[in-house]
Structure 1
């Protein structure tokens, strides 16, 4: 297995998995917030994080359609998780802090995840939106699950797409989607 790593820069999560590179639109924090020290709103603090593929959590309920009870239970879990805990998407995995670039300023924030979701923005996690199924399938496909396949994630000083800091956190969804899709 070759070394795998991700870089979050300028609104893109770049996944180098040894035999190829995949790019995913990504954001972190709330629109209009660029200070990583703001709890539950600011972007993830710049630095390096580790992903353990064995910790991936999924609620990929449509794979369980052959068993009505499992399908209903998993779908209910998906709905409740998204209603109570926010817009998590179908997959998530914890980002374990490795090295913060600014430990004195940002070291107090923790419990970040890489996940998907329907809405743009997060409470500080890395959000790949509706591309989470594609990204996590690629992670799982390139994993060995032998403890040596951890993924290093670098978060740069400019993790969000340029202009993110000028948006309003309460902008209408359509406005955010239009800005997000503009290249």
Structure 2
């Protein structure tokens, strides 16, 4: 298996999987926040992280398919609603394990970052690929051997978000963010 790695730079997550390269629009943190030391708002600290494909979690819930058992249906539906109130996880997510941070003394206190998708733009510091999570995670799965040797290195650069991200307001209307996101 070829060495696989990703680079988050200027609003793009570039995935090199040995036989090809795929690009996915991505962001990290809240719009207008550029300091990685700000808890639950700043971007993921620059550095190197590892993804273990065996840890990929599927978060998709199609509560319309759970009609057989009413209790099962209500439990599934409530998990779906709560997940979207507490955060926008998308269909898939995987934990990013820090290996080496560029500024460990300043950013080292933050942890529990994920690579995930979602309906809305921005995150609490995770890498968010928006609605492209299905395509990205299908590519990760299809290039994995799941034998413990197929871990993926993720490099987060000093400029992980696209141009103009830092000029947006953290309280911008969703429409403004969607227009900015789709302008690329």
Does the TM-score normalized on the shorter chain lie above 0.5? yes
Compute the displacement of 1:154 (Å).
0.1
Structure 1 length-normalised TM: 0.93
How many pairs are equivalent?
Answer: 182
Q: Is the 8 A contact 1:95 1:113 kept in 2?
A: yes
Q: Is the 8 A contact 1:64 1:71 kept in 2?
A: no
Q: Is the 8 A contact 1:59 1:75 kept in 2?
A: no
Specify the alignment match of 2:153 in structure 1.
Answer: 152
Compute the displacement of 1:71 (Å).
8.3
| Structure 2 CA distance for partners of 1:57 and 1:74, relative to 1, 3 Å | farther
Structure 2 stretches lacking a partner, 5+ long: none
1:177 maps onto 2:181 in alignment: no
Structure 2 length-normalised TM: 0.92
Secondary structure of 2:158's partner? Answer: coil
Compute the displacement of 1:167 (Å).
0.4
Q: What whole-Å deviation, never above 9, does each CA across 1:34-88 have from its counterpart, x for those lacking one?
A: 000001000000000000011111123349948845984545433322223x011
d(CA) in 1 for partners of 2:108 and 2:29? 16
Matched ranges for 1:1-183 at <5 A:
1-62=1-62, 65=65, 68-69=68-69, 72=73, 74-84=76-86, 86-183=87-184
d(CA) in 2 for partners of 1:111 and 1:174? 29
| Structure 2 CA distance for partners of 1:66 and 1:2, relative to 1, 3 Å | farther
Structure 1 runs (4+) deviating above 2 angstroms are 59-80
| Structure 2 CA distance for partners of 1:41 and 1:2, relative to 1, 3 Å | same
d(CA) in 2 for partners of 1:26 and 1:115? 10
d(CA) in 1 for partners of 2:72 and 2:152? 31
Q: Is the 8 A contact 2:59 2:93 kept in 1?
A: no
Secondary structure of 1:153's partner? Answer: strand
Please provide the CA RMSD for this pair: 1.9
Stretch moving more, 56-65 or 136-145: 56-65
Q: Is the 8 A contact 1:44 1:112 kept in 2?
A: yes
Secondary structure of 1:61's partner? Answer: coil
Structure 1 stretches lacking a partner, 5+ long: none
Q: Is the 8 A contact 1:7 1:14 kept in 2?
A: yes
